[in-house]
Structure 1
Amino acid sequence: MTDPDSRAWHRLFPAEQDALAAAGYTRTWRPDEIIASQGGPPGSMYVLRSGWVKITVTNDRGELAPIAARGPGEIVGELAAITDLPRNATIQAITPVTALVIPATRLRAVLSNRPHIAEELFRTAAIRLEQSAHLHLEAGGPEFPQRLAAILVELAAQCAPDAPADAPIILPFGQEELAAIARVSRSTLIRGLDRLRSLSIVATTRGRVIIERQQQLREFAAGKRTV
């Protein structure tokens, strides 16, 4: 798994963190509260202190699809705040969330004096673009259980980059959201999950999928036989 320091906030120097903290303020949200809306004004950048959010997009047909989950140490909403363009996704709290909120004008003032922060923000954007591309590629694979396994591997890397290799990972997505990510019906998703459950690779609870055997999941996604 990726080292926790790969999360954007942890890659910044202490003086850079202090500068951003001085430019912003702390706010909390309840579960399911909308933090920022797709198509809305650029507004602020958010540094997640605690809790989890999901990032969703709505296409031209009105279909809603989650594309990522972000947790403590992650920075979200940065591109809109930097470019001053409308937001291209919705940020919604999954759990109670506390975040450092940095208004766009203050953020740009900090970036003008501390270009390394901008470099790290754009690096984060590039990493996320690659993750999104992987999800789209995996969603077009041949047999669905293998394709689903590849999608779960990618989501696990996003949701728990610092998880030990033998630790279970709880994905903060329900079945409807996973079906939207995989671009399949819920019944097809359930059949795929049933296959992975039969191999003791994943378990499911209400509104959650738990990856119980990370290595076996990666092997199954790669087309290797697993037991």
Structure 2
Amino acid sequence: MPLFKSLSHDEMMEIASITEPRTFKKGEVIYGEGDTGGKLYILHTGGVKISRLSADGKEQFIRAIGPGEFMGELSLFSSLPFTDDAAALENSTMCFIDGEKLKLLMSKYISIAFKVMDELSKRLERAENLIKEISLNSVEERLARVLLDLSDGEKEIVLTMTRGNLASQLGMSQETLSRKLSFFQEEGLISLKGHKRIRIENREGLLKII
């Protein structure tokens, strides 16, 4: 995984010696709000959903974690409990690394510390961009931008999350997302292929919206 790619084989074996492998079934909770942290969670196979509950009990989707990515890094540097929930999106395997042992290795292999800091910086930037998107841009602008981002220049998007999670991430209800997707389809900007596939039909038209 990227976090350890700069290490030698022997150094990687040293990392492996302090990891604890775990498996989780689809829907199983990995940690919840209020739980004590102190571990780094590294996903090997499957997927994990990071979310948070609002005061009125509505779920706010934060991000999805894929193979090779990690989570729980904030708890390594703070004694505060988790403020979000993590659950398996599918059958998943991962490794836990005890925080205190990892800190010792971070002081020994500075490249690991820099990689964790880099990931934290990227996540902070994404959070700030999302706040800006929600506060300054219309629903149509947000949706057009995320469709262009997800397509990455290709004609078809295969969603790796549910529409409900996508709507939550964009700061709108699932009903609003469905209406806007249908509107985009009527305008010839996209075509919907079931619940997971979206084909970009008019990229220039989406660009004009944003």
The TM-score with structure 1 as length reference comes to 0.77
Among 201, 205, 214, the residue aligned to 2:194: 205
* SS of match in other structure, 1:184: coil
Structure 2, unpaired ranges of 5+ = none
CA distance in 2, matches of 1:41, 1:146: 39
Q: Does 1:29 align with 2:18?
A: no
Q: CA deviation at 1:45?
A: 0.8
**Mapped contact 1:53–1:95 kept (Cα < 8 A):** yes
Structure 1, unpaired ranges of 5+ = 1-6, 157-162
Q: CA deviation at 1:120?
A: 0.7
- Corresponding position of 1:223: 209
* SS of match in other structure, 1:121: helix
The TM-score with structure 2 as length reference comes to 0.82
Letter matched to residue 120 of structure 1: K
Letter matched to residue 209 of structure 2: G
- Corresponding position of 2:79: 84
1:140-219 aligned within 5 A: 140-153=135-148, 156=150, 165-166=153-154, 168-198=156-186, 199=188, 201=190, 203=192, 205-206=194-195, 208=196, 210-213=197-200, 216=203
Among 97, 101, 120, the residue aligned to 2:96: 101
**Mapped contact 1:135–1:151 kept (Cα < 8 A):** no
**Mapped contact 2:144–2:209 kept (Cα < 8 A):** no
- Corresponding position of 2:60: 65
CA distance in 1, matches of 2:202, 2:113: 35
Identify if the C-alpha distance between structure 1 residues 76 and 8 changes in structure 2 by more than 3 Å, giving closer, same or farther. Answer: farther
Letter matched to residue 206 of structure 2: F
Identity %: 25
**Mapped contact 1:53–1:92 kept (Cα < 8 A):** yes
Q: Does 1:47 align with 2:42?
A: yes
* SS of match in other structure, 2:172: coil
Choose 1 or 2 for highest CA Rg.
2
- Corresponding position of 1:159: none
**Mapped contact 1:44–1:102 kept (Cα < 8 A):** yes
In the TM superposition, what whole-angstrom CA distance separates every residue of 1:180-226 from its partner, at most 9, and x where no partner exists?
223323322111111333436353534x4x34339928x615626xx
CA distance in 2, matches of 1:89, 1:204: 32
CA RMSD between the two structures:
2.9
Identify if the C-alpha distance between structure 1 residues 35 and 167 changes in structure 2 by more than 3 Å, giving closer, same or farther. Answer: farther
Identify if the C-alpha distance between structure 1 residues 42 and 183 changes in structure 2 by more than 3 Å, giving closer, same or farther. Answer: same
Q: Does 1:134 align with 2:129?
A: yes
| Number of equivalenced pairs | 208
Letter matched to residue 9 of structure 1: L
